[in-house]
Structure 1
Amino acid sequence: MIGAGMLGLDLAERLNASPVLSCALVASRQSSASALRRAAQLGCGVSTEGITAVVRAGVDVVFDASSAEAHAAHRAALASADVLLVDLTPSSGGSFLTPTVNPARAETDRHLSMVSCGGQTVLPVLDAIARNSERVGDVEVTTTVASASVGPATRDNLDEYLAITGYAVERLTGATRAKVLATISPALPAPPFRARITACAYGIRPPTLANAVKAAADAVRQYTPGYKVSAFSVADDLVQATITVTALGGRLPSYAGNVEIINAAAVTLAERYARSREVGHRG
């Protein structure tokens, strides 16, 4: 694990609760004593040497929860290592994956991009729209996140978040153009993570699409139980959906659905990779 913020510490807990993964090391370049102390209490090794310590550790999977700016150097340092690199930063490298859209690529690709928390939230629904229409035109995505669940690295990477989420929407759905907006809300009580989709989709059948969106949401709830399509409508060629994500696992505040969904997706895909390696070794 690279990064000892809210994202990294929640990931460490999830890894230690996994049946096939465990957290060997939490590394950070900043000497965040309290965060690393918490990681040590979880049974993880800790280091303030960052990527240097990760390379030396000889692990099988590396989760990068640092920043988009730092990720390129981390990727270069691990280029010759036999590891799966799971990128939770909004950088432009790696294969875009979500567990309900294209999970099989986790077994073959070695550099996985989790896109963003917004991407993990909207892509399952947009994939259902794309699969049940002749063509997807313009897409607009607006996300609202509680200020308390957004760390300094995420704030610094806001431009990258908007760009990479839009690019992933276009790549994975064939949309003509995607526009992404984001609001960091200081409201109290803190609001749950929310994403609103407005998409032009042609050649759709509303009842069939509604069932497909419901099925997509059901699939996401297998690893993110607090995922809910709270509103859905179709008017001619215009599809609108509102998605809320509530953190229900007990590790995070309920409003931190943004952290919940991207971390749960990352662990789900890493577990698929680990299981495929086990099968390969037995074979």
Structure 2
Amino acid sequence: MTQKVKVAIIGSGNIGTDLMIKVMRHGKHLEMGAMVGIDPASEGLARATRLGVPTTADGLEGLLSMPEFKDIGLVFDATSASAHQKHASRLDALGVPMIDLTPAAIGPYVVPVVNGDAHRDAKNVNMVTCGGQATIPIVAAVSQVAHVYYAEIVASIASRSAGPGTRANIDEFTETTARAIEVVGGAERGKAIIILNPADPPLMMRDTVFTFSELADQTKVEESIEAMVAKVQAYVPGYRLKQSVQFDEAEIALPSHGRIRGLKTTVLLEVRGAAHYLPEYAGNLDIMTSAALACAETHASAVVAA
């Protein structure tokens, strides 16, 4: 039998529960070792118990006291930015690697298709945000062809798919995403906006990416974007271009460069969830758990091969 890395998930809410289902259905080098929550009555803990996964409702302290903890090789944190600060401190001291699905950003930002291999050995990696996972690959695709002076993303998600963790971390979302647009996407300056859409029935996740770059061959930019979309689709099948890439040559004033004539690129995306546990419209949560699973598989494959 192929050796697998046992994982624990801290956070038994929507994201944690969906991630558990993904690990159990699609984990190649991963298997569930524990599900951790703080509410004994949570649906996530109940589902984990029904599926035969060891659980605790006593948070991180409960995980550390579980006999199963000695076999845990990787921990996902699907709680909040503030909680992750505490979790990371304890687990780092114990040498347990973590994948952070909160906007805490203690470790390096990771978007699997852009820089996943570069941080496979990091002890704490940050999955940025749902908006970041959806849009940074596009910024990076443009950056592969032309220098990007400015990139702005607008992530519109169904209000129903925004749980208490998302709502409590709006400021961290915008700050973390903007920074990752620069660090991972390659833009000189990044900006992020999130919109919680109250439409009923709920709408699919939609993301708009604007970049302003040096003038470049539009065909090459479009080909780079389409190739990147295909790479993301390998682990997020519901990720797609909503319509053709739009271009416009324009002259604008930038604080650091003065007036520059460049290429404005507009990309419209849709993310449809896989509906493993969450509804299809929760593409924002699905792309986060899918990216986290892809990142964990990269880490675990190295561990198994060692």
Question: Same fold judged by TM-score > 0.5?
Answer: yes
1:211 pairs, out of 198, 223, 236, with 223
1:228 aligns with 2:252: no
Q: How far apart are residue 227 of structure 1 and its match?
A: 0.2
CA contact (8 A) 1:136 1:201 kept: yes
Instruction: Show the counterpart of 2:81.
Output: 68
CA contact (8 A) 1:106 1:270 kept: no
CA distance in structure 2 between the aligned counterparts of 1:32 and 1:69, rounded to whole angstroms: 23
Q: How far apart are residue 249 of structure 1 and its match?
A: 4.5
Instruction: Show the counterpart of 1:29.
Output: 38
Instruction: Show the counterpart of 1:4.
Output: 12
Instruction: Show the counterpart of 1:178.
Output: 190
CA distance in structure 2 between the aligned counterparts of 1:106 and 1:171, rounded to whole angstroms: 14
> What is the CA deviation profile of residues 26-79 of structure 1, one whole-angstrom value per residue up to 9, with x for unaligned ones?
111233333311121122111111111333413111000000111100000101
TM-score w.r.t. the length of structure 2 is 0.88
CA distance in structure 1 between the aligned counterparts of 2:119 and 2:278, rounded to whole angstroms: 26
TM-score w.r.t. the length of structure 1 is 0.95
1:258 aligns with 2:267: no
1:140 pairs, out of 107, 130, 152, with 152
CA contact (8 A) 2:17 2:277 kept: no
CA distance in structure 2 between the aligned counterparts of 1:104 and 1:179, rounded to whole angstroms: 26
CA contact (8 A) 1:25 1:44 kept: yes
1:101 aligns with 2:114: yes
User: How large is the RMSD of aligned CA atoms in angstroms?
Assistant: 1.3
Q: How far apart are residue 106 of structure 1 and its match?
A: 4.0
CA distance in structure 1 between the aligned counterparts of 2:201 and 2:19, rounded to whole angstroms: 25
- Identify which range, 47-56 or 211-220, moves more after superposition: 47-56
Aligned pairs, number? 279
| Structure-to-structure mapping, 1:237-256, within 5 angstroms | 237-256=263-282
- Identify which range, 124-133 or 175-184, moves more after superposition: 175-184
CA contact (8 A) 2:137 2:185 kept: no
Task: In structure 1, list runs of 5 or more residues that go unmatched.
Answer: none
> What is the CA deviation profile of residues 130-159 of structure 1, one whole-angstrom value per residue up to 9, with x for unaligned ones?
1110x2112111111001111111101111
> What is the CA deviation profile of residues 187-209 of structure 1, one whole-angstrom value per residue up to 9, with x for unaligned ones?
01100011101110113210011
SS in 2 for 1:264: helix
CA distance in structure 1 between the aligned counterparts of 2:247 and 2:78, rounded to whole angstroms: 37
Question: Which amino acid counterpart does residue 258 of structure 1 have in structure 2?
Answer: N
Runs of 4+ in structure 1 over 6 Å off:
none
Percent identity over the alignment is: 29
Q: How far apart are residue 19 of structure 1 and its match?
A: 2.3
- Identify which range, 171-180 or 258-267, moves more after superposition: 171-180
CA distance in structure 1 between the aligned counterparts of 2:288 and 2:205, rounded to whole angstroms: 12
Kindly name which structure, 1 or 2, has the bigger radius of gyration based on alpha carbons: 2
CA contact (8 A) 1:4 1:32 kept: no
Instruction: Show the counterpart of 1:16.
Output: 24
SS in 2 for 1:96: coil
Instruction: Show the counterpart of 2:294.
Output: 268
Q: How far apart are residue 269 of structure 1 and its match?
A: 1.1
Instruction: Show the counterpart of 2:64.
Output: 55
CA distance in structure 2 between the aligned counterparts of 1:47 and 1:92, rounded to whole angstroms: 26
CA distance in structure 1 between the aligned counterparts of 2:215 and 2:108, rounded to whole angstroms: 29
Alignment CA distance shift 1:242-1:37 (3 Å) = same
SS in 1 for 2:171: helix
